[in-house]
A and B are shown apart, each in its own frame.
Chain A
Amino acid sequence: DAGVTQSPTHLIKTRGQHVTLRCSPISGHKSVSWYQQVLGQGPQFIFQYYEKEERGRGNFPDRFSARQFPNYSSELNVNALLLGDSALYLCASSTGIIGELFFGEGSRLTVL
Protein backbone atom coordinates (compact mmCIF):
# COMPACT_ATOMS: atom_id res chain seq x y z
CA ASP A 1 0.00 0.00 0.00
CA ALA A 2 1.19 3.50 -0.77
CA GLY A 3 2.05 5.75 2.11
CA VAL A 4 1.07 9.38 2.48
CA THR A 5 2.02 11.29 -0.65
CA GLN A 6 2.57 15.02 -0.87
CA SER A 7 3.09 17.32 -3.82
CA PRO A 8 5.03 19.24 -4.82
CA THR A 9 8.15 18.14 -2.95
CA HIS A 10 9.94 21.45 -3.41
CA LEU A 11 8.76 24.85 -4.56
CA ILE A 12 9.98 28.42 -4.62
CA LYS A 13 7.63 31.38 -4.42
CA THR A 14 8.00 35.12 -4.00
CA ARG A 15 6.44 37.27 -1.32
CA GLY A 16 2.78 38.00 -1.88
CA GLN A 17 2.14 34.92 -4.01
CA HIS A 18 -0.22 32.09 -3.25
CA VAL A 19 0.62 28.40 -2.83
CA THR A 20 -1.41 25.18 -2.81
CA LEU A 21 0.01 22.02 -1.28
CA ARG A 22 -1.60 18.65 -1.79
CA CYS A 23 -1.78 15.48 0.26
CA SER A 24 -3.12 12.01 -0.39
CA PRO A 25 -3.65 9.94 2.77
CA ILE A 26 -3.15 6.24 3.22
CA SER A 27 -6.10 4.30 1.86
CA GLY A 28 -8.73 3.91 4.55
CA HIS A 29 -7.51 6.84 6.64
CA LYS A 30 -10.17 9.48 7.16
CA SER A 31 -8.14 12.08 9.04
CA VAL A 32 -5.55 14.44 7.60
CA SER A 33 -3.45 16.85 9.62
CA TRP A 34 -1.13 19.61 8.43
CA TYR A 35 2.01 20.77 10.22
CA GLN A 36 4.58 23.47 9.56
CA GLN A 37 8.17 22.75 10.52
CA VAL A 38 10.74 25.51 10.52
CA LEU A 39 14.38 24.40 10.45
CA GLY A 40 15.57 23.29 13.86
CA GLN A 41 12.11 23.27 15.46
CA GLY A 42 9.35 20.78 16.07
CA PRO A 43 6.30 20.54 13.80
CA GLN A 44 3.66 23.18 14.53
CA PHE A 45 0.03 22.12 14.17
CA ILE A 46 -1.93 23.98 11.49
CA PHE A 47 -5.14 22.03 10.79
CA GLN A 48 -6.82 18.69 11.24
CA TYR A 49 -9.65 17.40 9.09
CA TYR A 50 -11.70 14.31 9.83
CA GLU A 51 -14.48 13.06 7.59
CA LYS A 52 -14.18 16.29 5.57
CA GLU A 53 -14.85 18.52 8.56
CA GLU A 54 -12.33 20.75 10.31
CA ARG A 55 -11.67 19.28 13.74
CA GLY A 56 -8.76 21.40 14.91
CA ARG A 57 -6.98 24.61 14.05
CA GLY A 58 -3.64 25.89 15.30
CA ASN A 59 -2.44 29.46 15.88
CA PHE A 60 -1.96 30.45 12.27
CA PRO A 61 -3.34 33.54 10.50
CA ASP A 62 -6.34 33.44 8.20
CA ARG A 63 -3.94 33.40 5.24
CA PHE A 64 -3.76 29.66 5.90
CA SER A 65 -6.73 27.57 4.86
CA ALA A 66 -7.35 23.93 4.05
CA ARG A 67 -10.00 21.54 2.93
CA GLN A 68 -10.58 17.82 2.62
CA PHE A 69 -12.20 16.25 -0.40
CA PRO A 70 -14.69 13.34 -0.61
CA ASN A 71 -11.80 10.93 -1.35
CA TYR A 72 -10.12 12.20 1.88
CA SER A 73 -7.26 13.91 0.07
CA SER A 74 -6.51 17.42 1.27
CA GLU A 75 -5.17 20.78 0.17
CA LEU A 76 -3.40 23.43 2.22
CA ASN A 77 -3.57 26.94 0.81
CA VAL A 78 -1.45 29.87 1.90
CA ASN A 79 -2.18 33.36 0.58
CA ALA A 80 -0.03 36.50 0.57
CA LEU A 81 3.16 34.58 1.30
CA LEU A 82 5.69 36.03 3.71
CA LEU A 83 9.37 35.21 4.08
CA GLY A 84 8.52 33.58 7.41
CA ASP A 85 6.30 31.03 5.66
CA SER A 86 9.43 29.29 4.37
CA ALA A 87 9.32 25.87 5.96
CA LEU A 88 8.75 22.16 5.50
CA TYR A 89 4.99 21.50 5.34
CA LEU A 90 4.08 18.06 6.56
CA CYS A 91 0.88 16.16 6.00
CA ALA A 92 -0.09 13.23 8.18
CA SER A 93 -2.98 10.83 7.95
CA SER A 94 -4.53 8.64 10.60
CA THR A 95 -7.50 6.37 11.09
CA GLY A 96 -8.87 8.40 13.98
CA ILE A 97 -8.42 11.78 15.56
CA ILE A 98 -5.80 11.25 18.26
CA GLY A 99 -3.99 8.08 17.27
CA GLU A 100 -0.77 7.31 15.45
CA LEU A 101 0.10 9.73 12.65
CA PHE A 102 1.58 8.57 9.36
CA PHE A 103 3.60 11.35 7.73
CA GLY A 104 4.45 12.14 4.15
CA GLU A 105 7.91 13.37 3.18
CA GLY A 106 6.75 16.96 3.14
CA SER A 107 6.67 19.92 0.78
CA ARG A 108 9.59 22.28 1.20
CA LEU A 109 8.50 25.85 0.54
CA THR A 110 10.98 28.64 0.04
CA VAL A 111 9.67 32.19 -0.10
CA LEU A 112 12.01 34.77 -1.61
Chain B
Amino acid sequence: SQQGEEDPQALSIQEGENATMNCSYKTSINNLQWYRQNSGRGLVHLILIRSNEREKHSGRLRVTLDTSKKSSSLLITASRAADTASYFCATAPAYSSASKIIFGSGTRLSIRP
Protein backbone atom coordinates (compact mmCIF):
# COMPACT_ATOMS: atom_id res chain seq x y z
CA SER B 1 0.00 0.00 0.00
CA GLN B 2 1.12 3.58 -0.63
CA GLN B 3 1.70 5.88 2.34
CA GLY B 4 2.05 9.00 0.24
CA GLU B 5 -0.07 10.18 -2.63
CA GLU B 6 1.23 12.78 -5.06
CA ASP B 7 -0.90 15.35 -6.78
CA PRO B 8 -1.19 15.91 -9.68
CA GLN B 9 -0.49 12.52 -11.27
CA ALA B 10 0.83 14.27 -14.36
CA LEU B 11 1.97 17.83 -15.03
CA SER B 12 3.05 19.48 -18.29
CA ILE B 13 4.53 22.98 -18.25
CA GLN B 14 6.57 25.28 -20.47
CA GLU B 15 10.31 25.48 -19.98
CA GLY B 16 11.15 28.29 -17.60
CA GLU B 17 7.91 28.01 -15.62
CA ASN B 18 7.73 26.77 -12.05
CA ALA B 19 6.44 23.27 -11.24
CA THR B 20 4.67 22.44 -7.99
CA MET B 21 3.92 18.92 -6.83
CA ASN B 22 2.09 17.96 -3.67
CA CYS B 23 2.26 14.93 -1.43
CA SER B 24 -0.17 13.80 1.26
CA TYR B 25 0.54 11.03 3.73
CA LYS B 26 -1.38 9.16 6.40
CA THR B 27 0.69 8.44 9.49
CA SER B 28 3.20 10.28 11.66
CA ILE B 29 6.61 10.57 10.10
CA ASN B 30 10.23 10.97 11.11
CA ASN B 31 11.15 12.57 7.79
CA LEU B 32 9.86 13.04 4.25
CA GLN B 33 12.03 12.70 1.18
CA TRP B 34 11.64 13.56 -2.50
CA TYR B 35 13.15 11.49 -5.31
CA ARG B 36 13.37 11.81 -9.08
CA GLN B 37 13.27 8.96 -11.56
CA ASN B 38 14.08 9.16 -15.24
CA SER B 39 12.20 6.61 -17.30
CA GLY B 40 13.09 3.07 -16.30
CA ARG B 41 16.12 4.12 -14.27
CA GLY B 42 16.94 4.09 -10.57
CA LEU B 43 15.66 6.81 -8.27
CA VAL B 44 17.81 9.78 -7.31
CA HIS B 45 17.46 11.45 -3.92
CA LEU B 46 16.64 15.16 -4.11
CA ILE B 47 15.98 16.42 -0.61
CA LEU B 48 15.08 15.25 2.90
CA ILE B 49 13.03 17.31 5.34
CA ARG B 50 12.67 16.28 8.97
CA SER B 51 9.38 16.35 10.83
CA ASN B 52 10.49 19.37 12.91
CA GLU B 53 11.39 21.41 9.80
CA ARG B 54 8.92 23.49 7.79
CA GLU B 55 10.90 24.45 4.70
CA LYS B 56 14.09 23.46 2.97
CA HIS B 57 15.91 24.64 -0.13
CA SER B 58 18.40 23.01 -2.45
CA GLY B 59 19.35 24.88 -5.60
CA ARG B 60 16.16 25.33 -7.66
CA LEU B 61 14.20 23.06 -5.30
CA ARG B 62 12.04 24.22 -2.42
CA VAL B 63 10.26 21.75 -0.16
CA THR B 64 7.68 22.57 2.48
CA LEU B 65 6.23 20.30 5.14
CA ASP B 66 3.00 20.77 7.10
CA THR B 67 2.75 17.98 9.66
CA SER B 68 -0.64 19.21 10.90
CA LYS B 69 -2.07 18.62 7.43
CA LYS B 70 0.19 15.65 6.72
CA SER B 71 1.28 17.20 3.46
CA SER B 72 4.38 18.37 1.62
CA SER B 73 5.06 20.26 -1.57
CA LEU B 74 8.00 20.29 -3.97
CA LEU B 75 8.59 23.42 -6.02
CA ILE B 76 11.00 23.39 -8.96
CA THR B 77 11.74 26.91 -10.14
CA ALA B 78 12.78 27.94 -13.65
CA SER B 79 12.16 24.46 -15.07
CA ARG B 80 14.45 22.94 -17.71
CA ALA B 81 13.97 20.15 -20.23
CA ALA B 82 16.25 17.97 -18.08
CA ASP B 83 13.70 18.19 -15.25
CA THR B 84 11.37 15.91 -17.24
CA ALA B 85 10.99 12.87 -14.99
CA SER B 86 8.75 11.23 -12.41
CA TYR B 87 8.90 12.66 -8.90
CA PHE B 88 8.09 10.64 -5.77
CA CYS B 89 7.66 11.55 -2.16
CA ALA B 90 8.71 8.98 0.43
CA THR B 91 8.05 8.87 4.15
CA ALA B 92 9.99 7.33 7.00
CA PRO B 93 7.59 6.38 9.79
CA ALA B 94 7.82 7.61 13.34
CA TYR B 95 7.25 5.41 16.35
CA SER B 96 7.44 2.20 14.38
CA SER B 97 9.40 -0.91 15.14
CA ALA B 98 9.38 -1.72 11.45
CA SER B 99 11.87 0.19 9.41
CA LYS B 100 10.61 1.03 5.96
CA ILE B 101 10.56 4.06 3.73
CA ILE B 102 7.31 4.13 1.79
CA PHE B 103 6.90 5.77 -1.61
CA GLY B 104 3.93 7.46 -3.15
CA SER B 105 2.57 6.88 -6.63
CA GLY B 106 4.47 9.77 -8.22
CA THR B 107 3.95 12.82 -10.41
CA ARG B 108 5.04 12.61 -14.06
CA LEU B 109 6.49 15.99 -15.00
CA SER B 110 6.95 16.97 -18.64
CA ILE B 111 8.74 20.16 -19.62
CA ARG B 112 7.79 21.52 -23.04
CA PRO B 113 10.59 23.36 -24.92
Contact = CB atoms under 8 A, between A and B. Distances in A.
Given A55-B98, A103-B43, A42 B103 contact: yes
B64 interface: no
Nearest to A90: B42
Contacts of A98: 30-31, 92-93, 99, 101
Contacts of B92: 98-99
Contacts of A42: 2, 88, 103-106
B75 interface: no
B98 to A, nearest CB: 5
Contact of B43 (A58, A59, A90): A90
Size range of the interface on A?
Answer: 20 to 34
Interface residues of B, number: 26
B48 interface: yes
A15 interface: no
A25 interface: no
A72 interface: no
Contacts, number: 67
Contacts of B98: 55-57
Given A102-B45, A105-B41, A55 B103 contact: no
Contacts of B103: 35, 42-45
A103 B1 CA distance: 20
Contact of A45 (B30, B41, B48, B102): B102
Interface string B50-87: 00000000000000000000000000000000000000
Given A35-B103, A45-B102, 9 more contacts: A41-B105, A45-B100, A88-B40, A97-B99, A98-B99, A100-B45, A101-B35, A101-B43, A102-B45
6 contacts: A41-B105, A57-B98, A57-B100, A88-B40, A98-B30, A103-B44
Interface of A: 4, 33, 35, 41-45, 48, 50, 55-59, 88, 90, 92, 97-106, 108
